[in-house]
A and B are shown apart, each in its own frame.
Chain A
């Protein structure tokens, strides 16, 4: 079975899509969301194989939802929109598909053929997410779990990030958030200019660094403005020093 998610803020649009998807024998609708934040929540919770994302939604647009996904872990993305906007053209090469409203059943079946052919294609997912990031300001805002809900935080409030198996801890001065993301992909989303690796499993916001103190054998202590001290490993020392001087 292909597990699908539908996200659209208009009930009629959801109804139309779910009616036709249910008619297919091999598709199961695992969730329907009426805004962008809830769509992202549903994707994180249900891990669908394919997500039909409306571009215009409250909370987060379809593109913003896509930009917040983990490149290696994202569902196949099908964007649905009412108007052939500039933004959607970027996906011509690498989204699984995009559908313009109103569409008929034949058009949807064409999309489903593509989806079935790509359920195991990891590259298609990664590049769609990358394109979505390039289209939105995804380095400025990060979607984090806050109790049962997700919310957006300003990435400049992040002090440092710590990898923990398949998860990362995102530390702000006030509190920490646990995300199911890889450190590598999170750093790709946040961009090179603001954050730097200091350790195999840690990265720091350059703006949060107070001082660097040398230690034994070329390691350093990284002292943060908040008082927290982190370890800078030799491997990342040179790169960090170069960037601090800039």
Chain B
């Protein structure tokens, strides 16, 4: 809680504004007092300066003292104005006493030093008068201070919230990109463990594929863009493993323009799309499936697609995890400029991603 309220930059800034405001207020008060004094026929400039100056400086001192000592606890009550004001105002009697002693002591002292006598109203009249005056100013300034402090806290919370959102987006994109299903890994490991007994070389190759894919998926956390050529190489690793597992049930075709290989794309972007094709058509269906992977450029956009035969979208189709992750990840990186679309035709189900052409990150 305290961390949330420990307000640094914003508070310091608003404090400076507050002090400046206070200084302006003091000057005005003094000018008014001087002006008043001359209109009343007075001739000694130092007198109104002393009166108002002593009042202002001691009021400032006391307020500053209270603010320094009690700041932390007062900040805690910013959310409950009645408590905040209550805890300030409970010190008012002491405040008043200290104010009277200091102000009138100083004025008397200065008068005496200059060989004059400081005449003021009787204490019985003076004390209520000063009390009301002080309470008015005290109240006014408490209001102002409350406003400033509340603003500073609000500002700090906003910043904290923004940071939180940014962190959330980062972690979100990290989870979104690590979408290789555990199923895939365990099944692949099982395939390798079976292959070992039959063809050590093939098992070894498959293990290397799996290792490389795992490494890529662990690294693909951020928002950086890799060249499409690299992305397709990773996709091919995945396809190789799946082909080893389902060799007799699927064919995979690639249709890739050479011209698009250097365009930047988020790493492992297409993997969930290909995974979906395998999951819905190959792993669930009994027919032989054809998968076509395409990457072409259309005007200023890169169009990536994965199409498969052997599956259809059910009438109550709802977007699954793979596609949603893909879309949300694109949303974070490209905003509204990227599109994800799933469609069905006689030729099968097709997932299409359209991206603006960007350079790969360095």
Residues of A within 8 A of B (CB): 9-13, 15-16, 19, 35, 37, 56, 58-59, 82-83, 100-104
Contact = CB atoms under 8 A, between A and B. Distances in A.
Q: Which of B194, B195, B248, B283 has the most CB of A within 10 A?
A: B194
Interface of B: 181-183, 186-187, 189-195, 197-198, 244-248, 283-286
A10 B187 CA distance: 9
A156 B167 CA distance: 52
Given A12-B195, A83-B182, A102-B189, 4 more contacts: A9-B283, A10-B191, A12-B194, A58-B285
Contacts of A58: 283-286
A145 to B, nearest CB: 18
A56 B280 CA distance: 12
Contacts of A102: 186, 189-190, 192-193
Contacts of B244: 12
A11 B245 CA distance: 7
Contacts of B246: 9-10
A103 B182 CA distance: 15
B182 A10 contact: no
Which one of A11, A12, A104 has the greatest number of beta carbons of chain B within 10 Å? A12
A13 B186 CA distance: 11
Nearest to B186: A82
Nearest to A55: B183
Contacts of A9: 246, 283
A56 B197 contact: no
25 contacts: A9-B283, A10-B190, A10-B191, A12-B245, A13-B187, A13-B190, A16-B190, A16-B193, A56-B183, A58-B285, A59-B286, A82-B182, A82-B183, A82-B187, A82-B190, A83-B183, A100-B186, A101-B186, A101-B189, A101-B190, A102-B186, A102-B189, A102-B192, A102-B193, A103-B190
A109 to B, nearest CB: 16
Nearest to B286: A58
Contacts of B183: 56, 82-83
B195 to A, nearest CB: 6
Contacts of A59: 286
A35 to B, nearest CB: 6
A13 B187 CA distance: 8
Contacts of B247: 11
A56 B283 contact: yes
B186 A19 contact: no
Contacts of B195: 12
B129 to A, nearest CB: 79
A11 B271 CA distance: 24
A58 B281 CA distance: 9
Contacts of B187: 10, 13, 82, 101
A19 to B, nearest CB: 6
A83 B180 CA distance: 13
Nearest to B182: A83
A99 to B, nearest CB: 10
Contacts of B248: 11
A15 B193 CA distance: 10
Nearest to B192: A102
A12 B181 CA distance: 20
Nearest to A100: B186
Given A82-B183, A82-B186, A12 B191 contact: yes
Contacts of B190: 10, 12-13, 16, 82, 101-103
Nearest to A17: B194
Contacts of B186: 82-83, 100-102
Nearest to A101: B190
Contacts of B284: 58
B286 A10 contact: no
Contacts of A19: 194, 197
A85 to B, nearest CB: 9
B286 A35 contact: yes
Nearest to B279: A56
Contacts of A103: 190
A59 B181 CA distance: 22
Nearest to A36: B286
Contacts of B198: 15
B194 A13 contact: yes
A51 B181 CA distance: 27
Contact of B245 (A10, A16, A35): A10
A239 to B, nearest CB: 36
A56 B193 CA distance: 19
The 4 closest A-B pairs by CB, nearest first: A16-B194, A82-B186, A101-B190, A12-B194
Nearest to A38: B286
Contacts of A13: 187, 190-191, 194
A100 B186 CA distance: 8
Contacts of B193: 16, 102, 104
Nearest to B197: A19
A83 B182 CA distance: 7
Nearest to B249: A9
Contacts of A11: 247-248
A39 to B, nearest CB: 12
A59 B247 CA distance: 18
Nearest to B206: A12
B197 A16 contact: yes
A173 B194 CA distance: 48
